Chain A
């Protein structure tokens, strides 16, 4: 929020960019007037956007290609669901969701950051699948294939939506501010050249690990929110193919600058709902989109939009 206000004081290009961002927020809030299915989708977009923003920080600013985000999303969902089943109050359950995911990130991160590049991708995938098979097979705890139903829970759709959008804005602003601090600058340096940064005496391992924990916690919170929103948790939401969804959102919107991820999540959610209204070829749509984005819009759509509307001074 402070981010938006600060940039409002910038020049014309900056003002246009700010307008563009407020426009995005407006689009997220608009379905409040419509209610029903559009509102349901908008909440979904805001919560998935939260997960996409986390991945955007991880991938675009930390240079960590994670294919295991579904595990953090799912663990957050199960943590919330199981906490509520155990009779804990909602605020405590919402606190446990990010904590559980951060704990998993700590355990796996210690191993993940021993390797680099393509091996990180495979390692996060393997850990994600470990969590999936645990959720799938530990039927006593998770209900296995039948999933976990959160029936009997009454959260107003409007309140949930407002909170989701509020949290999303707070997280984007907070993370963008974080990127301006020495900590954020160091992360950027590590992404550009880890060897060089380490030779300057920076403990790069701990920087990457702490960022991994932070993004996992955000993803876990998003997962908890999604569980509340959908009222149902299925182990198949943890399967590795689900990790492709936030990846598509981030790539579609643009991996740098975090606003792109929000835009990507919104675009993806609504286009997917539109596409699935006339065909069930969901994979064809997501897969085609992924291939086309990588081939032709590597930078993502949001920076293009910002540059087009914000003059040549636009920046991601």
Chain B
């Protein structure tokens, strides 16, 4: 029982770190550009399929992990520049565009890669189990877990110490004030959108060996990321991190103990947080 519990805990935390990758991008984009990117899951799926294609043609997971985020991020930059920029400040219109874009991306992926469920093997170095006495656990989720924590620390450092990070935080806090200080919110917004979508694409490459690829996964991942960001607090990376852990645990143990109710409870939690504390459990009120 204790071993089952530990396995499920690690599974949940690995899934949580995957959610963190997605939620981090979504949260940064919302904070800076004030856009709820409902195509986020489609960018995830794009990253996953690109990773699958590149990984098999170059036969290297690591090259794909480096290359795919760049490609997906580039697409994100183009989307921000040509679809969303002109609608600045019109929240509903922007959300609708991202919904439409999500449909288009997901359908193109289905047309290109087929509707069959594709499971992706982990890279050879991380395949197979890790043996710790009587406890046996696959290596790959552990890798995802460690990568998620490292990424969280790295992004936190970047946001506090680098000039670009300071600009991102400034625009998140108050775009008007930031622009009077000589920061160009439009430029920061463009780059942040690229980084956010690149993170989603990276999530796709990393997540593919854990969650099999199939049409419809995009909408699920969008929802998961949205739940995490709403519960943790929009525009705060600490919120995305702890929110991801909370949702990962509720999802993992919910599936184990209350399979019928788990999703219902998660959405109920999201609705309550939105209604009673719209800034999220860890968020502050934004200007």
CB closest chain-A residue, reference B115: A280
In angstroms, Cα B274 to Cα A294, docked, is 27
| Cβ–Cβ < 8 Å partners of B87 in chain A | 294
Binary interface encoding of chain B residues 262-287 relative to chain A, with 1 for a CB under 8 A from any of its CBs, else 0: 01100110111011101000000000
B95 within 8 A of A: yes
Q: Which of B153-190 contact A (CB under 8 A)?
A: none
Q: Which of B51-109 contact A (CB under 8 A)?
A: 83, 86-87, 91-93, 95-97, 99-108
CB closest chain-A residue, reference B259: A137
B208 within 8 A of A: no
Tally of A interface residues using CB under 8 Å: 40
B107 close to A283 (CB less than 8 A): yes
A247 close to B107 (CB less than 8 A): no
| Cβ–Cβ < 8 Å partners of B227 in chain A | 126
B33 within 8 A of A: no
B107 close to A287 (CB less than 8 A): yes
Distance from A122 Cβ to chain B, minimum over Cβ atoms (Å): 6
B103 close to A119 (CB less than 8 A): no
A121 close to B95 (CB less than 8 A): yes
A291 within 8 A of B: yes
CB closest chain-B residue, reference A298: B93
CB closest chain-A residue, reference B36: A118
A202 within 8 A of B: no
Given A122-B226, A281-B111, A295-B83 in contact, is the A287-B101 Cβ separation under 8 Å? yes
User: A12-20, A74-82, A127-135, A215-223: which lies at the B interface?
Assistant: A127-135
A112 within 8 A of B: yes
Given A126-B267, A284-B107, A290-B103 in contact, is the A121-B275 Cβ separation under 8 Å? no
If over half of B's interface residues share one DSSP class (helix, strand or loop), that class is named, otherwise mixed; here it is helix
A238 within 8 A of B: no
A295 close to B270 (CB less than 8 A): no
Distance from A136 Cβ to chain B, minimum over Cβ atoms (Å): 8
A111 close to B271 (CB less than 8 A): yes
B264 close to A294 (CB less than 8 A): no
In angstroms, Cα B101 to Cα A289, docked, is 10
In angstroms, Cα B97 to Cα A241, docked, is 14
Q: Which of A262-316 contact B (CB under 8 A)?
A: 281-284, 286-291, 294-295, 298
A239 close to B219 (CB less than 8 A): yes
B130 within 8 A of A: no
Distance from B252 Cβ to chain A, minimum over Cβ atoms (Å): 17
In angstroms, Cα B136 to Cα A184, docked, is 66
| Cβ–Cβ < 8 Å partners of A117 in chain B | 91
Given A111-B275, A115-B278, A240-B219 in contact, is the A121-B36 Cβ separation under 8 Å? yes
A123 within 8 A of B: yes
B230 within 8 A of A: yes
In angstroms, Cα B269 to Cα A130, docked, is 10
Given A121-B36, A133-B264, A283-B107 in contact, is the A115-B274 Cβ separation under 8 Å? yes
Chain B interface category by residue count: 35 or more
In angstroms, Cα B269 to Cα A127, docked, is 10
B260 within 8 A of A: yes
Given A115-B275, A294-B97 in contact, is the A287-B270 Cβ separation under 8 Å? no
Given A239-B219, A251-B96, A290-B100 in contact, is the A130-B274 Cβ separation under 8 Å? no
Distance from B275 Cβ to chain A, minimum over Cβ atoms (Å): 4
| Cβ–Cβ < 8 Å partners of B270 in chain A | 122, 126
In angstroms, Cα B226 to Cα A123, docked, is 11
Given A117-B91, A251-B96, A286-B100 in contact, is the A130-B83 Cβ separation under 8 Å? no
In angstroms, Cα B34 to Cα A112, docked, is 20
Distance from B42 Cβ to chain A, minimum over Cβ atoms (Å): 9
A122 close to B100 (CB less than 8 A): no
B101 close to A291 (CB less than 8 A): yes
Binary interface encoding of chain B residues 15-53 relative to chain A, with 1 for a CB under 8 A from any of its CBs, else 0: 000000000000000000010100000000000000000
B223 within 8 A of A: yes
In angstroms, Cα B100 to Cα A281, docked, is 13
Binary interface encoding of chain A residues 55-85 relative to chain B, with 1 for a CB under 8 A from any of its CBs, else 0: 0000000000100000000000000000000
Given contacts A111-B276, A115-B278, A240-B223, list 10 more A-B pairs with CB under 8 A: A118-B92, A121-B92, A122-B36, A122-B274, A281-B111, A283-B103, A283-B106, A286-B100, A289-B100, A291-B101
Between-chain CB contacts (< 8 Å), 23 pairs: A108-B271, A115-B275, A118-B36, A118-B91, A119-B274, A119-B278, A121-B92, A122-B270, A126-B271, A129-B223, A129-B267, A133-B263, A137-B260, A239-B219, A281-B107, A283-B107, A284-B108, A287-B101, A287-B103, A288-B100, A288-B103, A291-B100, A294-B87
Interface residues in chain A, defined as those with a beta carbon under 8 Å from any beta carbon in chain B: 65, 108, 111-112, 114-115, 117-119, 121-123, 125-127, 129-130, 133-134, 137-138, 239-241, 244, 247, 251, 281-284, 286-291, 294-295, 298
